[in-house]
């Protein structure tokens, strides 16, 4: 089976190791979108800027930059994207969330999903941003494919 | 839609957690199938997600590794072993995870 034969509506391909390796570059070229995950620190941002400058432009153009552990109350989104030199439309952040850290520690990340769907206080900050990610992948100006909160299952 | 998740800081950014959350949430809220693949060792993903405890709406999220099989066709032994482990977990869920973690692989074909 090759990547082209995967028929699921959403196939998330986690790229491990060197981005320039033959297998990883092949996978990147096969994907319709790329999520570049980084942290809000100098080293990570420097590497992101190196990626936008030097990596294959075909890939960079399809990239959405995801900032993990974003300091929500410390820096404005506009200032942040301007500072690191990426377009705001290709930027989504995920704020620091203690429930995620706890779930990773306990090895039950899947248990967060019902909590996110219900909109419980400890995970509500993730809800909107994960929806934005799905919308960034599927929705266009004219066609909305992703169901909003109102249509999510009642748990 | 196929989406690649990358980073330039391996092991520090939470790439696996993001992949899991996005895949599981998409599956649960949109009622569509999502698949999580990896071009490397997916053990961190399996360890973080209690696959055997996934319930109801989460059941249509299959975790297997097509890319590894593709690499296997190219004759890379390390990937062949990983495919077998990924498929083992997919078929038997968490019951075989301890054996798999110890490096004991069970041959199975899809």
| Residue carrying the six token digits 């053990």 | B43
Report for A87-91, B5-9, B17-21, B66-70: range of highest mean pLDDT: A87-91
Mean pLDDT over residues A102-121, rounded? Answer: 85
Taking the Cβ of residue B75 and every Cβ of chain A, the question of whether any pair is shorter than 8 Å is answered with no
pLDDT at B83: 40
Taking the Cβ of residue A96 and every Cβ of chain B, the question of whether any pair is shorter than 8 Å is answered with no
How far is it, in rounded angstroms, from Cα B20 to Cα B63? 10
Taking CB atoms and an 8 Å limit, are A153 and B28 in contact across chains? yes
| pTM for this prediction | 0.77
Query: What letter would DSSP give residue B94?
Result: G
Instruction: Specify the range with the lowest mean pLDDT, choosing from A9-13, A107-111, B21-25, B81-85.
Output: B81-85
Tokens representing B67 are 């890319």
Q: Following DSSP, what letter does each residue of B6-34 receive, concatenated?
A: E-SSTTTS-HHHHHHHHHHHHHHHH---E
Q: What is the ipTM of this complex?
A: 0.93
Taking the Cβ of residue B91 and every Cβ of chain A, the question of whether any pair is shorter than 8 Å is answered with no
Containing A66, the helix (H) or strand (E) segment is: strand A63-70
- The residue ranking higher by pLDDT, B28 or A40, is A40
Model confidence over B30-85: pLDDT tens digits? 877 777 777 765 555 555 555 443 433 333 334 444 434 444 444 444 343 344 34
Question: By 3-state DSSP, what share of chain B in percent is helix, strand and coil, each rounded to 5?
Answer: 55, 10, 30
Distance to chain A for B40, nearest Cα, Å: 5
Question: Which of residues 116 through 135 in chain A touch B, CB cutoff 8 A?
Answer: 116-117, 126, 130, 133-134
Distance to chain B for A143, nearest Cα, Å: 15
User: Which residues, at least 6 apart from A146, have a Cβ–Cβ distance to it below 8 Å?
Assistant: A131, A134, A135, A138, A139, B30
Greatest Cα-to-Cα distance within chain B, rounded to the nearest angstrom: 38
- The residue ranking higher by pLDDT, A7 or A37, is A37
Q: Reply yes or no on whether the pLDDT at A62 is more than 90.
A: yes
C-beta of residue B61 within 8 angstroms of C-beta of residue B27: yes
User: Which residues, at least 6 apart from A3, have a Cβ–Cβ distance to it below 8 Å?
Assistant: A11, A13, A26, A27, A30, A31, B2, B37, B66, B67, B70
Taking the Cβ of residue A22 and every Cβ of chain B, the question of whether any pair is shorter than 8 Å is answered with no
Model confidence over A116-153: pLDDT tens digits? 999 999 999 999 999 999 999 999 888 899 999 999 98
How far is it, in rounded angstroms, from Cα A43 to Cα B94? 37
């Amino acid at each position: 089976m090759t990547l082209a034969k995967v028929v699921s509506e959403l196939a998330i391909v986690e790229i491990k190791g060197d981005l320039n390796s033959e297998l990883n570059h092949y996978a990147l070229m096969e994907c319709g979108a790329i999520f570049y995950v980084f942290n809000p620190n100098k080293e990570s941002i420097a590497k992101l800027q190196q990626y936008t400058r030097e990596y294959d432009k075909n890939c960079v153009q399809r990239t959405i930059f995801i900032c993990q552990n974003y300091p929500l109350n410390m820096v404005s989104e506009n200032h942040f994207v301007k500072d690191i030199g990426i377009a705001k439309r290709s930027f989504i952040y995920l704020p620091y969330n203690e429930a995620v850290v706890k779930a990773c520690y306990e090895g039950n990340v899947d248990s967060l999903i019902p909590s996110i769907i219900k909109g419980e206080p400890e995970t509500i900050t993730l809800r909107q941003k994960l929806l934005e990610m799905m919308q960034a992948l599927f929705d266009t100006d004219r066609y909305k494919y992703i169901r909003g909160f109102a249509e999510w299952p009642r748990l | 839609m196929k989406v690649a998740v990358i980073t330039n800081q391996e092991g520090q950014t939470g790439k696996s957690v993001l992949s899991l959350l996005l895949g599981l949430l998409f599956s649960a809220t949109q009622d569509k199938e999502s698949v999580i693949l990896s071009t490397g060792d997916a053990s961190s993903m399996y360890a973080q997600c209690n696959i055997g405890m996934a319930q109801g709406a989460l059941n249509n999220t299959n975790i297997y590794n097509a890319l590894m099989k593709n690499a296997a066709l190219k004759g890379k032994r390390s990937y062949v072993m990983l495919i077998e482990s990924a498929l083992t977990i997919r078929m038997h869920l968490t019951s075989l995870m301890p054996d798999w973690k110890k490096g004991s692989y069970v041959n199975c074909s899809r």
